[in-house]
């Protein structure tokens, strides 16, 4: 009995030590150092007015009810330093300009994509993380930065699950919120900063109650995600399991715990120029209508959504479904993005183009790449439509996790009590058309989100006073909410692709040079989290640095297989003949100019 007691004590001590280590790294996250660049260079991808509209127009996300002024007043757990300083938030990978100052659109002097909004029935200004936070990139070279509007972000945003790294924005934010609430002297400073001249005991107590409601939401999600093991594949910089997180939030958090599914297939944030011309969007080509796609994204980032009334009964009819989504602002962002041009190779920063080599690459591109990456273009409803080629997973050979999860996972939405006749009247088109009645106990994520977003969209349109005449424009060229679930990934046009590392849908290949190489020549592990660019290989540098994130391609969802140029039978990941090193260099040189003004200067 004594031996058993000692063993039990040792186990408890070990667990306590492990918990202490996790808490330590959550409170003291292992973050890369932030070294300000000399200058951020902005290209003429669009106007400065369009850039600011994109950066700071809210979309209706509320980040667990966090107020904007709360966020700007937060301190780090063990110091008086503000959490939301540009220098500190930059360590998570958010984009700041060393010369930026507060403005009317950005009064908190926050990074790109940190906006604010006020709901119609409230005076509260909520923190609103918008599209630009995840779809703006930056490349650093020789202490200069090139901003890539509409590019791929490299921040560590979504996870609030405690880990030994503790390097996620979500983890660090929860730590600061908890320290603020539970340390009386810290909360008193916080209350003085937030309330200002309105500070008194009554207002301080009300603030404490309101603040606790938001903190409780963060803690609930952190505990839920942790003990259920929902996100076993660590996302790291520049990735999120978008469909998995949206489904767990919309179907698990909001409907039933039985709907939680393991999300183990993170994807990179795709770049946005030209997407308004695509026939289908998302990595697996599963979505068609711009507004529905944007509503789904807003729900995934934290827009509120109510399925049930105060008595717990499912909402019916026109009451379906109130949300904080701002459809007119989403349309404003979408129309602004139609003016976004791809970035052009900056010869003054990254080096001059070798035009004879690029001309050789042009011929190689026509031979080896154009068949997939130069789509047919048609004119439909006033827009050029690029008919993107979809490549089946068993042919392209890239990590199948994302496509398979979307195609396979099923959810029980019967608690919402949808009427099939009512669903049939919605602007939803399932491809292919189902031959059997929908089973509300067994819907796919794409089907479920299509109907949810259709209800949310209709409710938001009514709330915003959108007229029937306006609706086709806000929907996006009159498109329906089209849905399909292919076990395939799309091949998109490659203008500006040099500015969007890392590569493949899951970010498992660090450079384009490696992407043109056989799998056995690709890095099986490499370090992420830097903006330092390699203009020769066209990708981020991959060497170790302080508190870097180690990306391991052997982990589920991280495989770097497929898209191989290798001699042998086509299929199962082999898409073309082997390329000699000099041919790869020529292709890289051409990709620097593809779709830009420099392409017209080639011999």
SS3 of 300-358: HHCECECCECCCCCECCHHHCCCECCCHHHHHHHHHHHCCCCCCCCCHHHHCCCCHHHH
Read off the pLDDT of residues 495-516 as tens digits, 9 standing for 90 and up.
999 999 999 999 999 999 999 9
pLDDT of the residue at 29: 80
Strand spans (E) along 47-129: 114-118, 125-129
Locus of tokens 């972000």? 153
Read off the pLDDT of residues 198-238 as tens digits, 9 standing for 90 and up.
999 999 999 999 999 999 999 999 999 999 999 999 999 99
Q: pTM to 2 decimals?
A: 0.95
One-character DSSP codes across 152-178: ------S--S--SS---HHHHHHHHHH
The whole-angstrom separation of Cα 234 and Cα 439 is 33
Q: What is the DSSP letter of 384?
A: E
pLDDT of the residue at 16: 45
pLDDT of the residue at 167: 73
pLDDT of the residue at 165: 59
pLDDT of the residue at 25: 45
The whole-angstrom separation of Cα 138 and Cα 133 is 12
pLDDT of the residue at 239: 96
Positions in the chain short of pLDDT 70: 1-28, 159-166
The whole-angstrom separation of Cα 24 and Cα 519 is 39
Query: Bridge partners of 278?
Result: 386
The whole-angstrom separation of Cα 237 and Cα 540 is 12
């Amino acid at each position: 009995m004594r031996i058993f007691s000692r063993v039990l004590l040792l186990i408890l001590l070990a667990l306590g030590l492990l918990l202490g280590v996790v808490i330590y790294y959550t409170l003291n996250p292992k973050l890369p150092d932030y070294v300000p660049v000399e200058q951020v260079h902005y290209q003429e991808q669009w106007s400065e007015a369009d850039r600011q509209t994109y950066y700071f127009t809210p979309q209706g996300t509320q980040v667990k009810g966090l107020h904007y002024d709360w966020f700007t007043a937060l301190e780090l757990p063990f110091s008086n330093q503000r959490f939301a300083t540009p220098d500190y938030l930059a360590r998570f990978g958010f984009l700041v300009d060393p010369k930026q100052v507060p403005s009317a659109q950005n009064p908190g002097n926050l990074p790109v994509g940190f906006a604010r909004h006020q709901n119609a029935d409230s005076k509260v200004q909520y923190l609103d993380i918008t599209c630009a936070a995840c779809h703006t990139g930056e490349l650093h070279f020789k202490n200069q930065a090139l901003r890539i509007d509409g590019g791929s972000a490299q921040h560590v945003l979504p996870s609030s699950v405690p880990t030994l790294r503790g390097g996620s924005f979500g983890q660090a934010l929860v730590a600061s919120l908890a320290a603020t609430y539970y340390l009386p002297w810290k909360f008193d400073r916080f209350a003085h900063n937030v309330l200002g001249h309105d500070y008194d005991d009554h207002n301080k107590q009300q603030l404490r109650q309101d603040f606790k409601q938001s903190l409780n939401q963060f803690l609930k999600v952190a505990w839920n995600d942790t003990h259920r093991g929902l996100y076993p594949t660590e996302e790291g910089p520049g990735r999120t399991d978008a469909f998995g997180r949206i489904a767990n939030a919309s179907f698990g958090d909001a409907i039933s715990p039985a709907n939680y599914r393991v999300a183990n297939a993170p994807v990179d944030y795709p770049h946005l120029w030209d997407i308004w011309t695509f026939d289908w969007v998302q990595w697996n080509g599963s979505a068609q209508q711009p507004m529905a796609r944007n509503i789904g994204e807003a729900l995934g980032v934290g827009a509120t959504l109510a399925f049930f009334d105060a008595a717990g009964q499912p909402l019916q009819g026109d009451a379906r479904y109130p949300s904080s989504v701002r459809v007119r602002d989403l349309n404003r962002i979408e129309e602004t993005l139609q003016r976004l041009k791809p970035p052009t190779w900056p010869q003054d920063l990254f080096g001059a183009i070798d035009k004879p080599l690029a001309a050789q690459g042009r011929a190689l591109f026509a031979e080896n790449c154009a068949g997939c990456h130069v789509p047919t273009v048609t004119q439909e409803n006033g827009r050029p439509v690029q008919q993107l080629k979809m490549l089946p997973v068993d042919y392209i050979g890239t990590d199948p996790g994302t496509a398979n999860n979307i195609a396979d996972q099923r959810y029980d939405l019967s608690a919402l009590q949808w009427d099939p006749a009512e669903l049939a009247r919605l602007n939803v088109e399932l491809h292919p058309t189902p031959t059997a009645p929908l089973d509300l106990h067994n819907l796919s994520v794409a089907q479920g989100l299509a109907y949810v977003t259709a209800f949310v969209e209709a409710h938001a349109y009514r709330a915003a006073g959108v007229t029937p005449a306006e609706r086709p424009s806000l929907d996006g060229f009159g498109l329906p909410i089209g849905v399909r679930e292919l076990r395939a990934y799309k091949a998109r046009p490659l203008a500006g692709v040099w500015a969007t590392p890392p590569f493949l849908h899951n970010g498992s290949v660090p450079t384009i040079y490696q992407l043109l190489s056989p799998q056995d020549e690709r890095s099986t592990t490499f370090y992420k989290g830097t903006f330092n660019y390699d203009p020769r290989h066209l990708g981020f540098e991959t060497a170790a640095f302080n508190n870097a994130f180690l990306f391991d391609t052997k982990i589920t969802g991280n495989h770097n297989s497929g898209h191989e140029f290798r001699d042998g039978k086509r299929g199962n990941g082999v898409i073309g003949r082997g390329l000699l090193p000099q041919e790869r260099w020529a292709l890289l040189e051409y990709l620097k100019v593809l779709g830009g003004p420099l392409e017209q200067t080639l011999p």
